[in-house]
A and B are shown apart, each in its own frame.
Chain A
């Protein structure tokens, strides 16, 4: 069974999912981000996909279900809590139970709590390894690191630092954005003479710099919910103040000379964030380059802008 998942808010522990990384799809949906449109395309067009799970956390993702409801595949729109408190952890745990129940019903399977716990251990180990490598980014090739991260998002979730190449010298920069679907962007950054030493990406920095999970209970659903909601905030959670404060602290601590803000076109959470992020960085004299990706496979046409940015920092 192959379930395509989108976003770090979708738990990997309940069932094995395939993390959506990119697809050259035929769906061209005006005003939706290309990442969501390509996700829709793959679910519709790829016969090997049995289902899709995605968050209700931005306008593009909350509309995905409307395009997939007639596919007959397993479709689950996950309402990620927009607030972060104890009540929302309990609520999210209920959502995870509901997700499991719907999977069981649709596929006529049974998923035991022991299975979920075993998968949780594997995911926790992988996350710890990602965090350890993230701490050494100044020595590693970022493009090699992020490829290893992406590979580890699918079963068997193995992450091996020894597979990551050593990094070359470069001007230290910080990378902000949604899931780095156009992974070639990381190559372009390195080719332009820059070195990513920290990021605020859902699959990397937000996993690596995670606060201690608030929940130590035996209830595996509460634990998973708490783990996911204890991560650094995503702009879809509307905690801009906290997000910017965290990022700026890391940018300053790591001595980054600039910020690359890479987002999908029509991605409103990051567009709103950018309008305040840019002002804060301007006040601090930190240059920022916005790179807008047109879809999940776009990464190419930004080399010139990146080179120019490398020159000015």
Chain B
């Protein structure tokens, strides 16, 4: 019987959560711990043997476990406005109460925030820095808003200074070959994940699986194991039956709804099948360039939410065209101002739903159902 990816998944999960309070049971982590945002250059941390934890992802896990409401309420009691990104509110509730499905993450030795997806994250990390009284490092990525010849040396300098600080923290010296190896792993992870994503268009693949399993590309992209998991997954999915072509192909624009058992609104999507999503492509980072520094610049400066509207629209339109979608659900995410405008002029009929990816009480399901009905009438 071929090796199932599930065995590797279990191993990767064990490794990621080993120092969360539910499993550590008071044991201190053996490595220094960084809390990072989801587009941080973790290849550097991994090469220096620093453990890294993703608060955003953990907020998603909390909502998927159905525990978000009391934690959102707690964050309000901590004077954090409910207008702020729900990832931060949910996570703030978790660390304030010590409650979470896997306990709380190991206490950070350093906080690393990037602004290549939004400016919320550095602000959120600033309140974490105040709480834990540990250094906050903000990595500033100008993105497509700035000419690359100005941005590249600026980012490279920051990456090199970041290495120095992390060497001091970890007591380890960076071996550039090790860094190159981690970047190579990330490149392999992206390539394997693209194989997985390709199955969504043609095969009977539940989108839920992709919304959940992109987690490894986010939290473990530079680990060798990740490409193994995704290649095994793709091998398996490529044998799945063909998808039901009589259903209307629909593109899901925006975040998965983490609180939902399926991560998308199955209850109002009868007659549709999800044939593509932009969220599942966001971590398909492009490590272009010759040197490790060029590769890191390419990957982390040009993340999707750090692109100009023109490029975002072009990329999204190309993805939609490749998926064969006839229509789209566009999630207007209350939490995310930066993603709010991603879907401009995409050229197919859309149902625009007001959602929040964490707070289940935000959605008006009846209204969503009626918008989906209109969408169905439009495309039929």
Contact = CB atoms under 8 A, between A and B. Distances in A.
Interface stretch (B13-21, B77-85, B267-275): B77-85
A274 B81 contact: yes
B338 A62 contact: yes
B373 interface: no
A272 B124 contact: yes
Nearest to B149: A94
Interface stretch (B61-69, B125-133, B191-199, B207-215): B125-133
Interface in A1-54: 29-32
A269 B78 CA distance: 16
A56 B301 CA distance: 14
A59 B333 CA distance: 13
A59 B339 CA distance: 10
A95 B146 contact: yes
B147 A240 contact: no
Contacts, number: 124
Contacts of B83: 31, 265-266, 268, 271
A241 B129 contact: yes
Interface of A: 29-32, 56-60, 62-63, 65-67, 69, 77, 79, 81-83, 87-88, 91, 94-95, 98, 235-236, 238-241, 265-266, 268-269, 271-276, 278-279
Contacts of B142: 56, 79
A275 B79 contact: yes
13 contacts: A30-B332, A31-B83, A31-B334, A83-B140, A87-B157, A236-B123, A238-B113, A238-B122, A268-B337, A269-B119, A272-B127, A273-B123, A279-B79
Contact of B126 (A63, A67, A272): A272
B107 interface: no
Interface of B: 78-81, 83-85, 88, 92, 113, 115, 118-120, 122-127, 129-130, 136, 138, 140, 142-143, 145-147, 150, 154, 157-158, 308-310, 312, 332, 334, 337-338, 340-341, 344, 354
A60 B308 contact: no
Nearest to A266: B83
Contact of A56 (B88, B120, B145, B147): B145
Main SS class of interface, A = helix
Contacts of B136: 238
Contacts of B150: 91, 94-95, 98
A271 B123 CA distance: 9
A63 to B, nearest CB: 6
Nearest to A80: B140
Contacts of A265: 83
Given A66-B341, A83-B140, A238-B136, A268 B120 contact: yes
A56 B150 CA distance: 16
A62 B123 CA distance: 14
A59 B120 contact: yes
A59 B334 contact: no
A60 B341 CA distance: 11
A82 B340 contact: no
Nearest to B75: A275
Contact of B337 (A59, A274, A276): A59
B138 A238 contact: yes
Contact of A275 (B80, B145, B332): B80
Nearest to A68: B309
Given A91-B154, A95-B150, A275-B127, A268 B79 contact: no
A32 B129 contact: no
Contact of A58 (B84, B119, B354): B119
B358 to A, nearest CB: 14
Contact of A268 (B85, B115, B138): B85
A271 B84 contact: yes
A272 B145 contact: no
Contact of A87 (B119, B130, B154, B334): B154
Given A83-B140, A268-B85, A276 B340 contact: no
Given A265-B83, A272-B127, A98 B341 contact: no
A32 B120 CA distance: 13
Nearest to B310: A69
B337 A31 contact: yes
